[in-house]
Homo-oligomer: A and B are copies of this chain.
Amino acid sequence: MTNTTAPTIDLPALVAQTSTGLNDASADAATVRFDVRASLATGTNTQVDITAGQHSFTIDEPPALGGQDVGANPVEHLLAALAACQVITVKVWAAKLGVTVDDVDVELSGPIDLRGFLGVDPDVRPGFGEIEVTARISGPEPAGAYDELIRKVEEHCPVLDNLTAGVPVRATITAG
């Protein structure tokens, strides 16, 4: 799974160039739109085929939640999105700050009280009650050199922002 090909992109140069290019950009010019499509696999309870750009993968549930465990489930993908966003934000901001980072490892854990999802108790929320993130950054810099990086990651990680502050979701569901 791991592609160990050396990166062909000079990340510090790219980040500096992109940041400079955005200095005088309008909101429209600075905005990237992301699109994803999903559909239930025919004849299954819970297998969802996802398409995002050139990529496709399947999200499912374990048997205890009605599925066949063909892929990680939606809330695991939510945690994965946060984990990857933390790692990438570390690398991008390390490039901006001129700090060397060799490795980044993240563990995430969160509880879901199923009484919310299944409507057993209206006072229980359906989603995670909290999410715990433990991240470790490794590199050759002296102790303290990573402090500013850690602050910048906490301020600028897109998925962390959307999960902690929320985001307006305009959902239109039609049936027939």
Contact = CB atoms under 8 A, between A and B. Distances in A.
A37 B43 CA distance: 31
A75 B79 contact: no
B38 A1 contact: no
Contacts of A30: 113-115, 120, 124
A176 to B, nearest CB: 6
A25 B168 contact: no
A45 B42 CA distance: 38
Given A22-B115, A68-B7, A133 B176 contact: no
Interface residues of A, number: 145
A5 B74 contact: no
A98 interface: no
Given A39-B104, A75-B34, A128-B162, A3 B171 contact: no
Contacts of A120: 19, 22-23, 30
B173 A44 contact: no
Contact of A37 (B38, B107, B165): B107
Interface in A77-128: 77-89, 91-93, 95-96, 103-120, 124-128
B176 A138 contact: yes
Interface in A117-164: 117-120, 124-139, 141, 143, 145-147, 149-150, 152-164
Q: Of A39, A61, A165, which is in contact with the most chain B CB atoms at under 10 Å from its CB?
A: A39
Interface of A: 1-9, 11, 14-15, 18-19, 22-23, 25, 27, 30-50, 52-59, 61-63, 66-89, 91-93, 95-96, 103-120, 124-139, 141, 143, 145-147, 149-150, 152-176
